[in-house]
Amino acid sequence: MLINGIRLLSGNSNLELAQKIADKLSISLVKSQVSRFSDGEISIRINESVRNSDVYVIQPTCYPTNESLMELLIMLDALKRASPERIIAVIPWFGYSRQDKKIHSRDPISARLVADLITVAGADRVITVDLHAAQIQGFFNIPVDNLTAVNIFVDYYKKMRLKDPVIVAPDLGDVKRARDFATKLKYPLAIIEKRRPKENISEVMNVIGEVKNSDVIMIDDMIDTAGTIVNAANALKDKGALDIYVCATHPILSGNSLEKLQNSSIKEVVVTDTIPFTKEIGKIKLLSLSGLLAEAIKCTHEGKSISTLFD
């Protein structure tokens, strides 16, 4: 897949994924330097010409979130002053995406703020994967391609022999994603009804659907503290579910989440490399989205539709 006129630039947040994408496109990453002043300010230097090229900046805004975001913004500004044809921000994990609406009085809508910052910094287009809330696309005044890892997961689970499998949405907000997943696999759907008394805390209230004597696949956009997934797995076990599998696009895995998953009733957790997680540990299985992102970059550069990537 050799492509002319494309330049790939990577920040520090997921250099391994950027290199995989570059390898699939048979091009090299643009040479650049990211350094710090003594007070911690970020300094970016791009060491190759990008004039009249389509430049793709690969930078998920993952932990440390604010550092990764500032790196992205400064890279975009540096590129804007270097006369490229277009600047496309490739943000596999869009940090602050959970803050997409006001829940309490005087809450910020931080996802909108970040969208404005990325646009003002110089991005002409954004490519991302499985936004926490699809409406975030509307926060931008530039085109946004929200790719999905669902087809990667579908291909993975089609190869497994499961007993009367059921797809489960771990909360009401994930019903559409779970329904699409279930439709493609032709499996029935169940839903976990939960409440969240405060941030990063969830309580299961009900299981809607039949899971007794069935293997279960839960699908989510992210795993952060793992509380939602582990509580949901316990509720499904109480309802008679057999083996429980989990797939999630973004492995945030903060705090003691890995320990929770290893000690849970979940048999396997499949995640992708939108966030650096290069070592498979215990129950964790890693799939790469480098092929999906490389194809999206190729289609965007050649002016082709990316709709086939969703089929």
Rounded to whole angstroms, the Cα distance separating 115 from 279 reads 31
Is residue 156 helix, strand or coil? helix
Name 103's Cβ contacts closer than 8 Å, sequence gap at least 6: none
Instruction: Report which of 123, 120, 128, 131 is spatially closest to residue 145, judged by C-alpha positions.
Output: 128
Torsion of CA 278, 282, 284, 286, to 10 degrees: 40
Fill in the amino acid letter for 68: S
Q: Which of 31, 194, 279, 285 is catalytic?
A: 194
Instruction: Report which of 27, 93, 49 is spatially closest to residue 298, judged by C-alpha positions.
Output: 27
Question: Is 194 designated active site?
Answer: yes
User: DSSP label at 248?
Assistant: E
* Cβ-contact 215, 189 below 8 angstroms: no
Active-site residue set: 194
